[in-house]
Structure 1
């Protein structure tokens, strides 16, 4: 990456693991607590005065990006890294201008290079597969039998539920769903367990919950039938069913197989968390090939995942897609270069976006979200529902809440000012969840 290709403040803040880190990092985006700041090649560094006698050593490899700080924070990136990057984003006229790496930065960047070279040299050994493929197959077969038992039990429970009617489901409480989910965990089918928990939560959503429960029950029943009859399914659909049930593919094994190289625009990045796990979703788009990709990264409860990519940059990299009827999820392989584009990405109109979503649903009826990049759309606030209206046609999409809530919707309206925008989001059964917007004529994305 060229050192002059600096990120915007919005791109830096989008890397923060949570709102508290964004706020704390913004407070450190002033030269007062910093000394010894500099930038050279892909490294940005500085010393930040903290509560102790020694300043914290903070460094960022913007090609990763990767972060190093001697502070005790367990967040990645920490507030010091965010503050440093905000200073760096000010440009050549800002305080981060020195170009000679101190020893501690050189040692860190050198260690990263050696680690990357070692990983690359060991890649052929990873491609050799498991040490004992017969033992691996036996384990897989045993698990498949357990999952079949769980799927059959779930199918019977769903049949009993529908036979008794849904009207009383709101009085039965959540305990029965928790019990069924625990049985699916015992059967080594975490995907089924997750969907059962979601089904149990439908009642609490209010409104026309019986209709939504019927829809979700039908999809869950279809999934159990699909797994039990997977041998009769086309191979891509069978892989989709296995994934939805909870089977995974080892990342090393995936990267050892076929991969695709592209120039991937980082469209969006956001985290979701529960009691056990923090999940980071990163959406990418290869405009030349017209394909999207989803990277998932995980962190233990209370800790942010380590993989982070700045929204709005273009990454020249190799990706390996997980096998599926609708390939979306991918694993990140070799990275080559990164740069900041000088134009707004090209999007589609509302009508073809809806068509692509319908086609994807036909291949994967359990699809939770479909990526769409829309151009020339205008946000329209409403008393009950917001919409994104196509500026060139009469088409419109209902809008669901972005990760930042109502503040994200009002920010979208403020960016637009009544003028057309380019918007990326996840399209689902209830509408579009906007994640990133580009104002007219500006290549800099604004995460929502």
Structure 2
């Protein structure tokens, strides 16, 4: 069992309420008969509940990541009793050594048998059904052609021609795209139609709408060409050099990424920023973390999708302030900052901020050039992030600017999300934090003015890590 820390236990909790309730049980001394197995892989004990008999709860680390078991009726996983047991342990409560209970030993044996069956099934797994896959690809082609027809008509007529009838027609098209296995295109088209209900200034409305139409039009062109190539390929090989597969609805599995050698061993990451946003078109909340590889400074992102209908059952992610280590980092195909995932992980204390600050890019001009090149890629993220060192941050001619050691400047802007006020937070910073630091920024190109600005997300100095969005 790895050394447990409060941050690690917090990361296992499904939500903030579970953390609070778990600690509440510890403070009220609700736990009794707490034990630890001789090999240190199992913690178990009893927790007083509302009934006559206490709940039997445990945390089993035999496989590395904990398996929680509890006799309580809670549907929350892990429940407050399991979390409280771990909090009691790290809080220094007495855990006596005891044999592993027979019921847990039996469950371990059954789990081992299931794992062996999974391995055998993987080894004997049949090759993909090429006929079924080809049928799906053809259905996607038909869906893209349907979407392309709608988008071409709209581009020809102009955005000023948009009417309730046309919006209704586009919403019906979005529904049909789901039947053609084009979930991402469906979400983007829904997002486009929802713009007309946000009461945006006309100039801003048309700018965002035009950007989305261009994206959808590009997806149709690129998607058609890609699907036709795959249908001509005898092995129907997926593309791992770009994000096109994900745009066309492919869900990458970890085993698949590993087989394609999209995995990096023994990586240590530090989270630079974390935010959670609501996406009405997707009907989901998206938790996004921006991470940096402490070995070389490469940036990655994590995304956790929480459907509105399943918020109680999908764990909400949170900020992580400690170094996260994993023996296998799975990396998704894509352009720019790539998405990553991991299975097993451990925490290794807070990062050295001087070391972290030293990983920032020192030349603003080079960063801007790379961002502009990335923005030219049709399906790349249009709001890329970068970690940039600065000599100073401050107001110049009424605008916030970041300046590097060479005197090159980057304009700082507010993000378009409602309620975001990171520039306002800059005004509250003590002057020492506006000198000789590093800033994580997200770029926002303005098609109307041609200006490229960046929203501050986080600041790293030698003694502070300041997160400006959440």
Normalising by structure 1, we get a TM-score of 0.73
Note the C-alpha offset of 1:226: 0.6
Q: Please, which runs of 5 or more residues in structure 1 have no aligned partner?
A: 90-94
What is residue 139 of structure 1 aligned with on the other side?
A: 132
Is the 8 Å Cα contact of residues 420 and 469 (structure 2) preserved in structure 1? no
Is the 8 Å Cα contact of residues 343 and 442 (structure 1) preserved in structure 2? no
Is the 8 Å Cα contact of residues 242 and 333 (structure 2) preserved in structure 1? yes
Residue aligned with 1:329, SS = strand
Greater shift in the superposed pair: 367-376 or 213-222 = 367-376
Over aligned residues, Cα RMSD in angstroms?
Answer: 4.9
Residue aligned with 1:229, SS = helix
Match of 2:172 among 179, 193, 206: 179
> Counterparts in 2 of 1:95-134, with a 5 A limit?
95-100=91-96, 115=111, 119=115, 123=119, 126=122, 130-133=125-128
Note the C-alpha offset of 1:36: 4.8
Note the C-alpha offset of 1:58: 4.6
1:339 counterpart = 2:348: yes
Q: Equivalents in 2 of 1:435, 1:117: separation in Å?
A: 47
Note the C-alpha offset of 1:79: 4.2
Note the C-alpha offset of 1:296: 4.6
Count of paired positions: 433
What is residue 338 of structure 2 aligned with on the other side?
A: 328
Q: Equivalents in 1 of 2:153, 2:161: separation in Å?
A: 13
Q: Equivalents in 2 of 1:56, 1:379: separation in Å?
A: 55
> Counterparts in 2 of 1:356-375, with a 5 A limit?
356-363=370-377, 365-367=379-381, 370-374=384-388
Q: Equivalents in 2 of 1:412, 1:80: separation in Å?
A: 41
Q: Which has the larger radius of gyration?
A: 2
What is residue 260 of structure 1 aligned with on the other side?
A: 264
* 1:291-318 Cα deviation digits (max 9, x unpaired): 3444455566133446979552321321
* 1:189-211 Cα deviation digits (max 9, x unpaired): 11110110111122233122011
Greater shift in the superposed pair: 140-149 or 263-272 = 263-272
Normalising by structure 2, we get a TM-score of 0.70
Larger RCO, structures 1/2 (Cα 8 Å, 6+ apart): 1
The 1:201–1:298 alpha-carbon spacing in structure 2 relative to 1, beyond 3 Å, is: closer
The 1:395–1:81 alpha-carbon spacing in structure 2 relative to 1, beyond 3 Å, is: farther
1:30 counterpart = 2:27: yes
Q: Equivalents in 1 of 2:269, 2:211: separation in Å?
A: 35
> Counterparts in 2 of 1:207-356, with a 5 A limit?
207=201, 208-230=204-226, 239-258=242-261, 259-267=263-271, 281=288, 283-296=290-303, 301-305=310-314, 311-326=321-336, 328-332=338-342, 335=344, 338-344=347-353, 345-346=356-357, 347-349=359-361, 351=364, 353-356=367-370
What is residue 49 of structure 1 aligned with on the other side?
A: 48
Note the C-alpha offset of 1:39: 7.4
Q: Equivalents in 2 of 1:240, 1:340: separation in Å?
A: 34
